[in-house]
Amino acid sequence: MKMRCKTLGAISVGLSFAFAHVAATNAVEIKVLSAVAMKAAFDDLAREFERTSGHKVTVSYATAGVLRKRIQDGEFGDMTILPRPVFEALVTQAKIDPGSSAVFARSTVGVSVRSGAPKPDISSADAVRRSMLAAKSVVYADPAQGGASGIHFAKVLERLGIVEEMRPKTKLVPVAGAAEVVAKGEAEIAVSQTIDLLRVAGTDYVGPLPPELQNTSDFVFLAGILTGAKQAEAVKALIQFLQSPGAAGVVKAKGLEPGE
């Protein structure tokens, strides 16, 4: 416990030192529309940015699909964090300033089981196929509701040729929460983004799906300034903050890879 506190303290000091130059004068409120997959990392970083800059960060989280529609429908925001396909589509539609985009984090899809349960072999595509077929139940985000990990895993099952075999033993959750279902003993295997799996007590993280079953192009989360933003300059400072070495340490601690 002492070591964990010491580590968090070091990260905080590092961030504070790196961004002490951010002016606390003329403090403003920044409204952020972010993919819910980034919540664990962005919440911590937003608090630190508020402390060092004096600005206030208000965040609304939802799935990428839901946020895309909200932004298309004209909902106001200063900044957004979205996976690459949705982000780039909104840039094309002139909803995001194309010159403001920056990679915030890269995500993987992984597997968890209930604490103490045997861990399935997911070392290769063939191993994942065998483990899924042997499992009594699996839970992941409902693709129909826009959960990126669920959309991806549905494609994985298609690629493995086991869609019909898995259908009767599949549980779907609306957005996130697959690992919580496993923690309660209501499913054997949870599949979700690693950042979601690592935060749930009562589960053991097995690991990421093998590289050949990952989506290395779409699971890249970009930050950018929304068209019509009232606080563009403050958002630029926030994006710079998110790309700092100190922020990268927080991102990695949450099960993500930092942007470049």
Whether 124 and 197 share a structural domain = yes
Residue 79's pLDDT is what? 98
Residue 255's pLDDT is what? 86
Residue 148's pLDDT is what? 78
Whether 166 and 153 share a structural domain = yes
Whether 223 and 95 share a structural domain = yes
Per-residue pLDDT tens over the stretch 122-132:
999 999 999 99
Residue 60's pLDDT is what? 97
Q: How, if at all, do strands 203-208 and 109-114 pair?
A: antiparallel
> What is the 8-class DSSP label of residue 226?
B
Whether 58 and 113 share a structural domain = no
Whether 254 and 163 share a structural domain = no
Whether 62 and 93 share a structural domain = yes
Measured from the Cβ of residue 25, the count of other Cβ atoms closer than 10 Å reads 5
Whether 142 and 100 share a structural domain = no
Q: Cβ(114)–Cβ(190) under 8 Å?
A: no
pTM: 0.72
Backbone conformation region of residue 152, classed left if phi is above 0, alpha if psi is from -120 to 50, else beta: alpha
Whether 98 and 128 share a structural domain = no
Residue 49's pLDDT is what? 97
Per-residue pLDDT tens over the stretch 70-94:
999 999 999 999 999 999 999 999 9
Which regions in the chain score pLDDT beneath 70? Answer: 1-25, 260
Count of domains for the chain: 2
Whether 134 and 52 share a structural domain = no
Whole-number Å distance between alpha carbons of 29 and 70: 20
Whether 11 and 97 share a structural domain = yes
Residue 260's pLDDT is what? 66
Nearest alpha-carbon partner for 68 in 86, 42, 91, 54 = 86
Domain residues for the domain of 200 are 109-213
Whether 113 and 209 share a structural domain = yes
CATH number (domain holding residue 142):
3.40.190.10
Whether 118 and 206 share a structural domain = yes
